[in-house]
Chain A
């Protein structure tokens, strides 16, 4: 088994890349791999508390919670990007890490594969 680090910079609404990142992470964890997911830019929206499950919107939180509870998945918001969007630690979902970009770099240097998904 191995570890993959994914960086995703695109938004929850208006982009399919976060959907892709979570579904790929789900498949990877189910196969026994470890996943570090770094969210930057508009990707930090995913960590916002209190999102509602509407049919026409991408709602990933159930899968994310399952992944977090698997113990093989870490998800971290970029602190600066989140704050720039009014998402402080107190607004962030339990289980999400909040860190500066060195978390992403450290993960990238200790991983087997990297997938960097750009923003909008």
Chain B
């Protein structure tokens, strides 16, 4: 199963640890984009520590004053709504919203 997990808040959802999938993608939206743009005590968010695909929604980065280049970890791909639609239809089958 190819699973896309939407993280919409700037906290680490406990559920993330328990999710297994053939292909797992974490999509950072709304306040979840802070995981991609902020460091705490010099460290990137623990949400970014997994061996999965990462995406962040550019519109939500920009509305919070970040540009695509502010992303702190280059494994996070910045996509817009168009890209997100293609992602959901082509790259993943199931979605979860946390």
Contacts and interface: CB of A to CB of B under 8 A. Distances in A.
A16 interface: yes
Interface residues of B, number: 18
Contacts of A116: 95, 97
A61 to B, nearest CB: 19
Nearest to A4: B88
B35 to A, nearest CB: 16
A117 interface: yes
Interface of B: 6, 8, 29-31, 59, 80-82, 84-86, 88-89, 93-95, 97
Contacts of B29: 20
Given A115-B88, A115-B95, 16 more contacts: A16-B8, A16-B30, A23-B81, A27-B80, A27-B82, A27-B84, A27-B85, A28-B85, A31-B82, A31-B86, A33-B85, A33-B89, A114-B95, A115-B97, A116-B97, A117-B6
Contacts of B93: 113
Nearest to A112: B89
A17 interface: yes
In terms of DSSP, what is the predominant structure of the interface of chain B? helix
Contacts, number: 45
B82 A17 contact: no
Nearest to B63: A16
**Ordered nearest first, which 9 A-B pairs have the shortest CB separation?**
A27-B81, A28-B85, A16-B30, A117-B97, A27-B85, A115-B95, A27-B82, A2-B89, A31-B85
A26 B89 contact: no
Nearest to B31: A16
